[in-house]
Amino acid sequence: MSLFRLLPALQLFYAQFASAQTSSTSISASTPTALSNNLLPAALLEPTISPNATQISSAPQSITTIVGVSRRTVSISSNATSTSSFSPQPTNSQPCNGHVEFCNRRFSNVSMVVAHNSPFAVAHNAASNQALPVLTQLNDGIRGLQFETHILNGTVQLCHTNCNLLNAGSLEAYLELVSGWLADNPYEVIAIMMGNDARVSPTTYIQPFTAAGMLPYLYHPSVPTANLTQWPTLSEMILANKRVVVMLDYLANQDAVPWLLDEFSYQWQTPFSPTDPSFPCTEQRPPNQPDDVSRDKMYMVNHNLNIEISDLIPGVGPMLIPAYTLLDAVNAVSGNGSLGVNVEQCTSMWGRPPNWLLVDYYNYGNFNGSVFQVAAMANNVTYSQDSCCGTVLSNRAHGKFSQVPVKALFAVFSFLVFLFS
């Protein structure tokens, strides 16, 4: 039996778990016999028995008892006979998105690193934005997958600007990898942010998401726009197994496709595809949104630095390509133009850290993984500096890249990088 068939029961349990935080004694939950311990995400619920905890419960078939560190909530009069009241503090050793601290935080209260143009990891293609493919990205800690979509031959295709320039295969094939990873990693919550470059109907996306096995994981928001307090916690999303938030930049229609969120109703962004190395924290999309609305919504910093090139490919028009030679500084923890400084600036301007740190070539920086160090600092958690990065080899399955050689383009690109640096 799949773990997730049991999730409704666990969710019920979780509600009791959550309410226990304010009650004065411990609780237990009776469950169907089918809920044997080895089928539970045990670590998530497992109690840590503190010797001082108020202990009750354990009816037959209880799955657990929530206990915790004693904390007095009433003063004891000299007449008190036995114990005082306690607020049980649930304890948890299962990380959510890599950190125990995140489990009880709302989705809107965690900073995550986004791979800009996640699928565009084609070696020696100047139109690439990443060196490592999606499974490696996810294993390394990327929790936002951003990319544009085009239509080729009636299917949704992952192309950069133009399918002749860079074609990374179908959306369905890419999502199959992601859904496999989600099945293997049941305590992880991610976002997928898509550009609807062909301006197709949102229903066009139903087929590839369905065929790739993504539908069971998709989060359906209860409101057509969400402020910071309307997002669930990571624990709630994990226990419900609704661990993927999907957003579309243009033409979303949540009445027609409830899981395909209208991106700018739920989050706003700093200037897109910046060529300005000072990375302003101002709000660009959606246009003209009042500040007080912005302050109460999730936001993304576009921290990818580009060089603009005109007439590189006939018919393609001016192109922005990553400032490849500056990546170590751009993705660094500190220094002029760094991600670290940008996050500090935006945090002080908006009163809270950005939710999404969008970067090119995430594995580069002042050390490999420095972008995750920046996110950890925003999240007030520690990051293990030697935990990044994986390699291309771990993602053999992702092989359906178009072989369109863009060597001439790459040569021009290298030359321009040389000129600009």
Ligand X SMILES: *[C@@H]1O[C@H](CO)[C@@H](O)[C@H](O)[C@H]1NC(C)=O
CB 53 within 8 A of CB 26: yes
Under the binding rule (CB under 6 A), the answer on residue 367 touching ligand X is yes
Cβ proximity to ligand X, 38 vs 222, nearer residue: 222
Under the binding rule (CB under 6 A), the answer on residue 365 touching ligand X is yes
Binding to ligand X, residues 312-331 (CB under 6 A) = 328
Question: What CA–CA distances, in Å, run from 111 to 10, 73, 338, 380?
Answer: 27, 33, 16, 10
> Which of 81, 153, 222, 282 touches ligand X by CB under 6 A?
153
Neighbours of 390 (CB within 10 A): 17
Both tokens assigned to 303: 């921290």
Catalytic residue, from 150, 160, 303, 398: name it. 160
> Which of 3, 56, 69, 349 touches ligand X by CB under 6 A?
69
Cα 76 to chain centroid, rounded: 46
Interface pattern 100-139 for ligand X (x via CB under 6 A): ---------xxx----------------------------
Question: What CA–CA distances, in Å, run from 329 to 16, 83, 248, 367, 369?
Answer: 48, 58, 30, 10, 13
Q: How far is the CB of 36 from ligand X (least distance, A)?
A: 31
Number of residues that bind ligand X (CB under 6 A): 30
User: Residue by residue, what is the 3-state secondary structure of 113-145?
Assistant: EEECCCCCCCCCCCCCCCCCCHHHHHHHCCCEE
Under the binding rule (CB under 6 A), the answer on residue 336 touching ligand X is yes
**Residue 220 annotated among the catalytic residues of the structure:** no
> Which of 88, 274, 337, 340 touches ligand X by CB under 6 A?
337
Radius of gyration of the chain (CA): 24
**Residue 116 annotated among the catalytic residues of the structure:** yes
Cβ proximity to ligand X, 241 vs 366, nearer residue: 366
Nearest to 269 by CA among 301, 297, 247: 301
Neighbours of 59 (CB within 10 A): 10
Site of interaction with ligand X (CB under 6 A): 50, 52, 69-70, 77, 79, 109-111, 152-153, 227, 229-230, 277-278, 296, 328, 336-337, 352-353, 363-365, 367-368, 378-380
Residues noted as catalytic? 116, 160
